Amino acid sequence: MSTPWTIAANDQLFTVVTDVITTGYWVVITGAVTDEILGNFDAPGFVVGQLQTDLAAKAAGQGLYAISGYPARSFPHLDSTSYTVTYTLRAPGFRDYPTTANIPVSAVFPVAAPSVAMRRLPVRLQGRVVADATGVPVPGALIVSVDNPIPPISAQHSMLLRSPLYSPHPINATAQQVTLASAGSTALKQPAVNGTTTLILNSTAGLSGAAFVQIATPSKTLVEYALVASLGPAPGQVQLKTPLNRSYATGAATNVNFVTATPTGTAAKLLTDTNSGDGILVADTLLTASTLVIDAGNPTEEYHEAGAVSDSNGYYGFDGVGRVRELFLQANATGTPVPWVIEFDQTANVVDFRI
């Protein structure tokens, strides 16, 4: 504020102060994102969303972005107070990434946002297995992910799951082989629909203690393991800890078994965190077992079958495939591994086998 001065007008003296307030519209945050798998980022629809209303953002398809506003309005006490700006990074084909940028006391703008590796949305991997000599469909073929057969063997091992994960899991969570033991069997009294957390069974006899539910088609093309939250209140009613991934019909179309699990062998540790819906584990050890437990002993414990099984027409499928750039797929233990670079721009990748 300038020094006061006086002027005379109409026989009166007026004290005048020249007061000029300058408000600047500045870039307050700059940031950049990368592709978690490929490194370089290229997504023309990349945007910054869910910003507070007094800030605006611009983003480039190559992953650069800037957030701008009037600092005096958005951060009025910056001389003594720090601020946190929250927003969401979005791009077609990638998971939304909620993030924050800290504006420190007396910040010098622009502030650099934390670097972010955007995670691609998973795809479906599917195909058909036929006999090499005749072209006839092969039912019951086991398709798994194996290591690159050409040395050196990578320290990162990928394992595809028959049913996607129910919960997210952190880096260093464990995956381990289990041996299953029967605790009884029953049948569905009502169809079980994808997303349900309630089963209505003919009986719950044997479903107590450490026992949980295995629900599967007779061919084992679909297999899920459902942990029990509680029984009842109606007869045969079972409340599940997590929703089912698939739908199952009543009668002979679905087998329902009660099982217990005993961990065996060396546990693998996850090298990347997982999202719910992922159908792949990336770990420090390749587990070749049939049934796995993930995060054993924790609230997010869950059980899965490794690999997919072809149906009566030779078709197989995996959902939730991502997190790596390339897979090596094998149909039956004696088959030749087939390399496949995941095409993330295709919602369904097709890999067929002749064995």
Domain ranges of the chain: 26-118, 123-354
Q: Choose among 219, 227, 207: nearest CA to 248.
A: 219
Buried b (16+ CB within 10 A) or exposed e, 113-126: beebebbbbbbebb
Q: Give the whole-angstrom CA distance, residue 71 versus residue 56.
A: 12
User: Domain spanning 26-118: which CATH class is it, in words?
Assistant: mainly beta
CA distance 256 to 200: 11
HSE, side-chain direction, 13 A CA sphere, residue 287:
31
Q: What is the pLDDT of residue 18?
A: 60
Torsion sign (Cα): 155, 158, 159, 164: positive
| Residue-level pLDDT at 309 | 97
Residue with tokens 């650069």: 64
Contact criterion met (CB below 8 Å) for 341 and 325: yes
Cis peptide before 110 (omega within 30 of 0): yes
Residue with tokens 């994102």: 33
Name the pTM for this structure: 0.87
What are the 10-residue block averages of pLDDT along the chain, 355 residues in total?
Answer: 65 63 80 95 95 95 96 95 98 96 96 96 98 95 95 92 97 97 97 97 95 97 97 96 97 97 96 97 94 96 98 97 96 91 97 96
> Measured on CA atoms in the order 38, 39, 41, 47, is the torsion positive or negative?
positive
For position 335, what pLDDT does the model report? Answer: 83
* 55 beta partners: 69
- What is the pLDDT at residue 24? 72
State whether residue 67 is helix, strand or coil: strand
HSE of 46 in the Cβ direction (CA atoms, 13 Å)? 23
Model pLDDT, residue 289: 83
Tokens standing for 104? 């420190």
Question: How far apart are the C-alpha atoms of 324 and 4, rounded to whole Å?
Answer: 69
- Name the residue type at position 279: G
Residue 29 burial class via C-beta count within 10 angstroms: exposed 0-12, middle 13-18, buried 19 and up: buried
